[in-house]
């Protein structure tokens, strides 16, 4: 019990301390940030709990073909981005004197009206999107804390809001880098435990190849499925690897670049971390079929796997990793949504008062939507 308190207390204290790295800076400007911070922050923004838990469950059902999704994330979602898009975006942002992704588009088209329209869209839809991420973190926390989910939703929302208010963009980058590292530790722990269970990666692959095909893995668990199942995997590669090219929170990560040379240092590190995170998660979730009984829902695979193999401290650390995946995405989305309200909508540089008002709006919108039961959040997020 004491160890659990120390782990979570230390995490929150470090989160708040890193948030204050942006104290005294313009909330929309990152200043000079090291390549390691930027690499881990990019990965943490990219990878949410959906990827680690949801897609990990799909790997249990579809087998090793889910590694194509990981490869797409690494090469299309990271290498292509930093090779062809990141520095040109930074140059455009600098030349257009844009402080936000909304201004990048509005200034490029010389249309203040476009900027205000986009600001409304970003504020509302990203606020609702953040509610789904925040609720996901609250549901995970509810598994280990005797606190009602509705209260955890507000606690998570306020924690994210505090980070954005104290540190702005610079603070967000530092907290995301920390969260990316925690995610990496959690997945490495689980990977070692699964390899020990199945006798290593080579032995595990050999045993997986001997399993009979299923409806989702109709050519076996180590090859791409035929027909619609295989095309489903290909579609996941495209959606998760190409859509990030235009997501505002991902575009804003390029605003922190200092030089074209820095790109060459960020790219390999981000690719390596992402390979371990998503590649490791999907790999071990596929191998879990060798020793886990059939699981009804894909979302239950990773939690069940962790409870089966890791000790209590390991369980706490892994939950912390998944919560970090949610928080890193939430802080990135929140920052864009708050900036849309506080600066883009009014068409001038934000004040501290407007920044606080934008945060209050996003907390109420996201926290309120997270309390709604049913499919409305999923429908809005899909839209």
pLDDT in tens, the chain (383 residues): 778 888 989 999 999 999 999 988 899 999 999 999 999 999 999 998 878 888 999 999 999 999 999 999 999 999 999 999 999 999 999 999 999 999 999 999 999 999 999 999 999 989 988 988 888 888 778 877 888 989 999 999 999 999 999 999 999 999 999 999 999 999 999 999 999 999 999 999 999 999 999 999 999 999 999 999 999 999 999 999 998 999 999 999 999 999 999 999 999 999 999 999 999 999 999 999 999 988 878 888 988 898 899 998 888 888 899 899 989 999 999 999 999 999 999 999 999 999 999 999 999 999 998 888 755 555 655 55
Q: What is the pLDDT of residue 54?
A: 86
User: ∠ at Cα 32 (29, 35), nearest 5°?
Assistant: 120
Three-state DSSP class for residue 226: coil
Q: What is the pLDDT of residue 367?
A: 93
Could you give the CA distance from residue 90 to residue 201 in angstroms, rounded to a whole number?
41
Could you give the CA distance from residue 16 to residue 167 in angstroms, rounded to a whole number?
9
Q: What is the pLDDT of residue 345?
A: 94
Q: What is the largest CA-CA distance in the chain?
A: 63
DSSP letter assigned to residue 31:
-
CB-neighbour burial class of residue 2 (10 A; exposed 0-12, middle 13-18, buried 19+): exposed
Q: Please state whether the predicted TM-score (pTM) of the whole model is above 0.85.
A: yes
Pure H helices in the chain: 2-19, 35-46, 49, 55-62, 67-74, 80, 86-95, 101-108, 112-142, 149-198, 201-209, 227-242, 248-253, 260-274, 280-287, 301-309, 312-339, 352-370, 376-382
Q: What is the pLDDT of residue 380?
A: 56
Torsion angle of the four alpha carbons 46, 48, 53, 57, in this order, in degrees rounded to the nearest 10:
-40
Q: What is the pLDDT of residue 374?
A: 58
Give the other-Cβ count within 10 Å of 56's Cβ.
30
Could you give the CA distance from residue 322 to residue 138 in angstroms, rounded to a whole number?
11
Q: What is the pLDDT of residue 2?
A: 78
Could you give the CA distance from residue 143 to residue 49 in angstroms, rounded to a whole number?
15
Place of tokens 């290909």: 234
What are the chain's domains?
A: 2-19+30-382 (1.20.1730.10)
């Amino acid at each position: 019990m004491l160890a659990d308190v120390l782990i979570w207390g230390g995490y929150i204290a470090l989160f708040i301390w890193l948030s204050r790295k942006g104290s005294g800076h313009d909330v929309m400007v990152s200043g000079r940030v090291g390549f390691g911070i930027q690499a881990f922050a990019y990965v943490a923004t990219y990878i949410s709990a959906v990827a680690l838990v949801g897609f990990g469950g799909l790997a249990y059902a579809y087998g090793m073909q889910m590694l194509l999704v990981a490869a797409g994330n690494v090469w299309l979602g990271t290498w292509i981005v930093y090779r062809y898009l990141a520095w040109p975006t930074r140059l455009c942002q600098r030349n257009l004197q844009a402080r936000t992704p909304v201004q990048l588009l509005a200034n490029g088209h010389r249309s203040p009206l476009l900027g205000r329209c986009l600001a409304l869209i970003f504020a509302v839809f990203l606020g609702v999107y953040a509610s789904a991420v925040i609720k996901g973190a609250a549901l995970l926390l509810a598994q280990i804390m005797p606190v009602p989910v509705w209260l955890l939703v507000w606690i998570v929302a306020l924690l994210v809001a505090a980070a954005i208010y104290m540190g702005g963009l610079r603070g967000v980058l530092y907290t995301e880098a920390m969260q990316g590292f925690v995610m990496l530790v959690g997945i490495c722990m689980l990977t070692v435990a699964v390899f020990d269970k199945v006798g290593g990666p080579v032995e595990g692959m050999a045993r997986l190849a001997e399993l009979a095909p299923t409806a989702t893995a109709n050519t076996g668990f180590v090859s791409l499925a035929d027909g619609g199942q295989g095309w489903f995997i290909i579609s996941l590669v495209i959606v998760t690897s190409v859509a990030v090219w235009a997501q505002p929170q991902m575009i804003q990560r390029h605003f922190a670049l200092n030089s074209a040379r820095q790109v060459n240092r960020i790219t390999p590190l981000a690719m390596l971390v992402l390979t371990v995170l998503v590649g490791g998660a999907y790999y071990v979730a596929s191998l879990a079929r060798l020793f886990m009984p059939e699981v009804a829902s894909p979302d239950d695979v990773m939690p069940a796997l962790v409870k089966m193999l890791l000790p209590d401290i390991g369980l706490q650390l892994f939950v912390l990793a998944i919560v970090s995946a949610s928080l890193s995405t939430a802080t990135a989305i929140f920052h864009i949504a708050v900036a849309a309200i506080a600066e883009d909508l009014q068409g001038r540089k934000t004040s501290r008062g407007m920044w606080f008002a934008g945060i209050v709006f996003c907390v109420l919108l996201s926290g309120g939507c997270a309390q709604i039961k049913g499919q409305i959040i999923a429908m809005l997020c899909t839209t």
